[in-house]
Amino acid sequence: MHIDAWLETIPPLAVYLAVGLVIGCESLGIPLPGEIVLVSAALLASHHDGLNPWLIGALGSGGAIAGDSIGYLIGRKGGRRLFDWAGRKFPRHFGPSHVAAAERMFRKRGMWAVFFGRFVAILRILCGPLAGSLHMHYPRFLLANALGGIVWAGGTTALVYSLGVVAEKWLSRFSYLGLAIAVVLGVVISLVIKKRMGRRHEETSSASAER
């Protein structure tokens, strides 16, 4: 079966549910690849007639806002004990250095930390629970959370979808195999860059702690 025919067999409902649930769970505080799922869904929509990119962006935004709000309530109730437990279970995401750096940013930046935290992988996971544990005023949190979720999910979907349409037209002469290779390379490069940024973040956090 040709790859474009295979892609057309993927049920749109499954894609929509995956976007909403994965991003919602990630925002809740569970370390899942929400950004990769969103990017993949937007790319798929660029050459899948049954997928609506507007709906993908809306579900991504809704999952982000709902997940962060639930995470806020959990952090409000669980507080420091929650992060101590999460640090033991997921040291790469909830280690003491990660939590300490995020706390400093939240105390210093407030609503801006919530908004821009949506665009940073580690902060995207920590945002809701951390804001709750620090007893941030919920209406302010909700406003920043909603704006961040809409800009992140909607903007990412629009950008990736547009790039996917352009790439599909350019690579059509080489068949969809070329598009698949380009997508895989893009994901690999993105993961490598994020890994390097994560190392720099840890080094900066360590240097700040020593001071």
**Pick from 42, 26, 25, 10: nearest CA to 168:** 42
Q: What letter represents residue 39's amino acid?
A: V
Show the CA angle centred on residue 60, arms to residues 133 and 182, nearest 5°: 120
Q: Show the domain range for 184.
A: 3-210
pLDDT in tens, the chain (211 residues): 444 555 567 788 888 999 999 999 988 878 788 888 888 888 888 777 788 999 999 999 999 999 999 988 888 887 667 666 666 666 665 666 666 766 777 777 778 888 887 887 777 877 888 888 777 888 989 999 999 999 999 988 888 888 777 655 655 554 555 556 656 665 665 566 556 555 555 555 554 445 5
Report how many domains make up the chain: 1
Q: Which helix (H) or strand (E) holds 40?
A: helix 34-45
